[in-house]
């Protein structure tokens, strides 16, 4: 099926070889596979992304020299089709331990202390939604003068969504630092439920913003000039599902039709700027690009209409209530990239592209200075693939936030979405440096 579809599109697959091993080489029976295709140019990457999308396969990462595609045990048609086409690749068989949901244990909240960012044990592990709620409650108790919580609406399963505003009241500002209007900076955690490191990093940033300025990685001095608005868990239903049922769940948990056998919308394809209901595949030998409806079972299903996801709609409505917004960062994983608009087109560049890229390059340098982690920068479509309905495009083009970015955090594929907990704090520390660099650039422009 896939081979004939590719032929119909005029696509000929090249032979490529992979030489990097990722995750694990243990071959358990009925194993899930992360298949890494090594690529040498944009043409090859475009072909592989198209092939994966046609097969409704789960694309984990697109980099300059490879494409990672996740294949669960039941996805034999995709595997055999590529074998039949003579394509060479590298397989890493994912240990079941990396895919299992965490065991439920005793509530460890009593052992946490959020008084100090440096000494807190909270950032040593991933946390279920109940722990995150307690984390927010504790920050509110400790810093009632700095933090407020807003209920921004309900999810498709009826859960309340929350946003934090972290702001220093004007009366408490350092003398001479008061601005007529402080600058708004928005941060969102994982829209894609499985990207746990993005959720943990959103909490680390929130903690850094209220920590004592004498502590390493504190961001509290930024509150003299910036108001921060943070949605730690944009996809509560999906996040809970990754803890209880499926560690690699991607979308929200929305019922999309009475007769649909699958559920869920890719929230990051459901935003209203340049949203598309169908997939556009490269017409490598034709003038007109062929289109086809996106299968609702696909991990990247965009919904029937923009803002169909209540979670997306809630965040979009909340954004309109926030004043003087100039910066937005959507935390994601994985790939170590800081990407600016656009996502919907690789041919269109924003009028602010020069400033956006300059700020991103400075932020990448600051990130590297912390633990040596290298981030690449560029426009999102070029860094990954064309994806209309993306949050970064919406925040820039519709919400009018000039410095809008997607930050794909560690790593580049060794652990992927199963980043070990001991990396949470280092990732938080280097992301804090990224945020600080962006504020310094914005403040100077």
Res 36: pLDDT = 83
pLDDT band at 48 (very low <50, low <70, confident <90, very high): confident
The residue to which tokens 């990207």 are assigned = 195
Give per-residue pLDDT as tens, 256-273.
988 888 999 999 999 999
Number of domains composing the chain: 2
The better pLDDT of the pair 137, 8 is held by 137
Q: Based on the domain organization, do 64 and 204 belong to the same domain?
A: no
User: To which H or E segment does residue 393 belong?
Assistant: helix 391-397
Which one is predicted more confidently, 63 or 367? Answer: 367
Omega before 334 cis (within 30°)? yes
Query: What is the extent of the structural domain holding 437?
Result: 109-244+305-444
Q: In a 3-state reduction of DSSP, which class is residue 158?
A: coil
User: What was the pLDDT predicted at 70?
Assistant: 84
Is residue 267 situated within a structural domain? no
**Which pLDDT score is estimated for 346?**
92
Question: Please, what is the average pLDDT of the chain?
Answer: 85
CATH number of the domain that residue 146 is part of: 3.40.630.10
Q: Do 130 and 233 have their domain in common?
A: yes
CATH classification of the domain holding 37: 3.30.70
Q: How far apart are CA 139 and CA 143, in angstroms?
A: 6
- Tens of pLDDT along 57-101? 888 888 888 888 887 766 555 555 555 444 557 777 666 666 677
Look at residue 42 and tell me whether its pLDDT is greater than 70.
Answer: yes
> Is residue 338 classed exposed, middle or buried when 0-12, 13-18 and 19+ CB atoms within 10 A define those classes?
buried
Tokens describing residue 393: 């495009």
Determine the pLDDT at residue 20: 32
Q: Distance between alpha carbon 40 and the CA centroid of its chain, in Å?
A: 25
Per-residue pLDDT, 176: 52
State residue 30's pLDDT score.
52
Q: Are residues 151 and 216 in the same domain?
A: yes
Sequence-distant (6+) residues with CB within 8 A of 307 are: 270, 271, 272, 313, 316
Three-class secondary structure assignment of 25-56: CCCCCCCEEEEEEECCCHHHHHHHHHHHHHCC
Task: Answer yes or no: is 129 within a domain.
Answer: yes
The predicted-structure confidence for 206-229, as pLDDT tens digits, reads as follows 999 999 999 999 999 999 999 999
**Together in a domain, 230 and 89:** no
């Amino acid at each position: 099926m896939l081979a004939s579809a590719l032929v119909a599109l005029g696509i000929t697959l090249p032979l490529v070889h992979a030489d990097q091993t990722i995750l694990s080489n243990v071959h358990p029976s009925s194993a899930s596979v992360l298949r890494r295709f090594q690529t040498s140019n944009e043409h090859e990457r475009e072909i592989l992304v198209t092939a994966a999308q046609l097969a409704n396969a789960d694309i984990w990462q697109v980099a300059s020299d490879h494409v990672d595609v996740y294949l669960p045990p039941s996805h034999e048609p995709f595997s055999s089709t590529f074998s039949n086409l003579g394509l060479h690749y590298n397989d890493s068989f994912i240990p079941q331990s990396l895919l299992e949901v965490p065991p439920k244990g005793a509530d460890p909240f009593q052992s946490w202390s959020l008084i100090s960012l440096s000494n807190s044990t909270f950032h040593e592990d991933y946390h279920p939604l109940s722990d995150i709620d307690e984390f927010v409650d504790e920050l509110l108790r400790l810093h009632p003068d700095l933090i407020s919580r807003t209920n921004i609406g309900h999810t498709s399963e009826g859960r309340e969504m929350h946003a934090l505003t972290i702001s220093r009241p004007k009366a408490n500002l350092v003398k001479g630092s008061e601005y007529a209007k402080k600058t708004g900076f928005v941060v969102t955690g994982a829209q894609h439920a499985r990207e746990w490191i993005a959720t943990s990093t959103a909490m680390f940033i929130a903690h850094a913003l209220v920590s004592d300025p004498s502590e390493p990685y504190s961001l509290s001095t930024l509150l003299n000039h910036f108001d921060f608005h943070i949605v730690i868990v944009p996809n509560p239903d999906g996040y809970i599902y990754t803890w209880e049922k499926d560690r690699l769940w991607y979308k929200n948990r929305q019922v999309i039709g009475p007769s649909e056998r699958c559920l869920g919308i890719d929230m990051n394809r459901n935003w209203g700027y340049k949203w598309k209901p169908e997939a556009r595949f490269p017409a490598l030998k034709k003038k007109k690009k062929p289109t086809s409806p996106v299968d609702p079972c696909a991990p990247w299903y965009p919904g029937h209409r923009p803002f169909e996801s209540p979670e997306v709609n809630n965040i979009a409505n909340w954004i309109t209530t926030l004043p003087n917004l100039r910066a937005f960062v959507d935390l994601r994983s994985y790939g170590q990239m800081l990407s600016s608009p656009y996502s919907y087109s690789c041919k269109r560049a924003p009028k602010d592209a020069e400033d956006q890229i300059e700020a991103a390059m400075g932020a990448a340098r600051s990130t590297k200075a912390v633990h040596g982690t290298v981030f690449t920068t560029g426009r999102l479509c070029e860094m990954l693939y064309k994806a209309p309905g993306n949050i970064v495009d919406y925040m820039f083009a519709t919400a009018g936030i000039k410095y809008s970015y997607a930050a794909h955090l560690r790593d580049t594929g060794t652990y992927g979405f199963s980043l070990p907990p001991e990396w949470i704090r280092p990732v938080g520390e280097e992301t804090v440096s990224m945020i600080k660099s962006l504020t310094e650039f914005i403040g100077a422009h």
